[in-house]
Amino acid sequence: MTTTTPAIETRELRKVFGSQVAVRSLSLHVPRGQIFGFLGPNGAGKSTSIKMLLGLVRPTAGTAFVLGAPVGDVDIRRRIGFLPEDFRFYEWLTATELVRLHGRLCGMSAARLRTRVGEVLDMVGLAPHRHRTLRGFSKGMLQRIGLAQALVHEPDLIFLDEPTSGLDPMGRRMVRDLLRAERERGATVFLNSHLLSEIEVTCDHVAFIKDGEVVANRDLATAWQDEVRVVVHAHHVSDGAMAGLVQWASAPRLEGDQLQFSVATEDVLPDVVRHLVGAGADVFRVTPEHISLEEVFVTLVGEDRGL
C-alpha cells in the first residue's frame, strides 16, 4: 500500500434496492492528494456511492478499493474521515466530548487528544463553544462540529457529503480554506456537493454522475486554460477562413456576423485573429468566455425535468 495507490478505485460498482437501481455502474479513479468533486443531480446516486465507499451500504456488484484496501475493511477506516450530510449526534455531549469520543474511536491516545481536540475545534471556529452541549447548536455549528470529528485523527482520505449546506458565507470560506490545508498536508478530499460554485473554486477535479454512472470527468486545475468559448464579431468571413480555423478551434459556427468556436487555450487567440484577417475578414470584436461548471453540468446531465 504505497502513496501511489489511488485514494479511491472502483469498477462497475452497482447498488440495487429492491427493484430500484440506485447506482448503475460506477467506475471511479481518484488519485492521492486531490480535492475531488462529485457532482450530479438529485437522485443520481451520489450519497449511495459514498456510503458504499465507506462500507455503510453493501454493493450489489462490482469492486471498490479505498487507500488500497477493499471497502468494508475496518482497519483502513483509521485513515478515513467522514462528514455525513446533516450531521447529527448525541445532543447531550459537549463539543469537546464529541470530538474526544470520535478521536478515541479512531484509536488516538489520550495524550494526543488533549492537544488535538482544542486544535481541531479552533480550526472549525468552535473554540468559544467547546464546553456547550450540542443541544443548543445551530445547523451551521453542527456542520462545523461534524467537520471537526471528521478531521480529528488527521485522516489520509476525507469524505464530505454536502459540507457547506448549512453554513453562511464565512463558514463556507472556512471550509474551503480547511480543505485546501488538508490537501497541503497530503490528504485526499472527496467532496459531494450540489453547490457548483463551491466545487468550481475548491476542487482540482470533478466527476459528473448521472443515473449512477460517471458521465464525464473534468480537470478543474487546468480548466481555465482549456474549454474557452470565443465569440467573434466579424464581416466577410469566407468558407476558407472557417475551414482554416480547425487547426486551433473546435466546433466553429457562423451565424450572420457572429462567429463562435472553442479553443484549447486563450494563448492561440492572436494566431486565430491573424488567420481571420489574413483570410479577408474584418474583425470588430473578440470575446473569450470561460465555460462555467454550471453550463457543463447542464449540458451533461440535461435540464431539470422535474423529479
Which positions touch another protein (CB under 8 A)? Answer: 51, 54-58, 74-78, 80, 82, 84-90, 92, 101-102, 104-107, 146, 149
Q: How far is the CB of 102 from another protein (least distance, A)?
A: 7
Give the separation between CA 54 and CA 258, rounded to whole angstroms: 51
**Which CB, 88 or 114, lies closer to another protein?**
88
Q: How far is the CB of 97 from another protein (least distance, A)?
A: 9
Residue 149 makes CB contacts below 8 A (sequence gap 6+) with 81, 83, 89, 98, 99, 102
**Which CB, 55 or 171, lies closer to another protein?**
55
**Which CB, 56 or 268, lies closer to another protein?**
56
Q: Which has the closest alpha carbon to 41: 247, 221, 193?
A: 193
**Which CB, 91 or 177, lies closer to another protein?**
91
CB 182 within 8 A of CB 152: no
E strand intervals along 95-227: 157-161, 188-192, 205-210, 213-219
Residue 158 phi, psi (nearest 5): -120, 125
| CA–centroid distance for 196 within its chain | 9
Q: How far is the CB of 171 from another protein (least distance, A)?
A: 19
**Which CB, 157 or 281, lies closer to another protein?**
157
**Which CB, 75 or 239, lies closer to another protein?**
75
Sheet strands side by side (includes 258-263): 249-255, 258-263, 228-235, 282-290
Q: How far is the CB of 191 from another protein (least distance, A)?
A: 16
Give the separation between CA 234 and CA 276, rounded to whole angstroms: 9
Helices (H) and strands (E) in the chain, counts: 9, 14
CA distances (Å), 62 to each of 25, 165, 209, in order? Answer: 8, 31, 17
Q: How far is the CB of 90 from another protein (least distance, A)?
A: 6
**Which CB, 76 or 245, lies closer to another protein?**
76
CB 51 within 8 A of CB 84: no
Q: How far is the CB of 289 from another protein (least distance, A)?
A: 41
Q: How far is the CB of 243 from another protein (least distance, A)?
A: 57
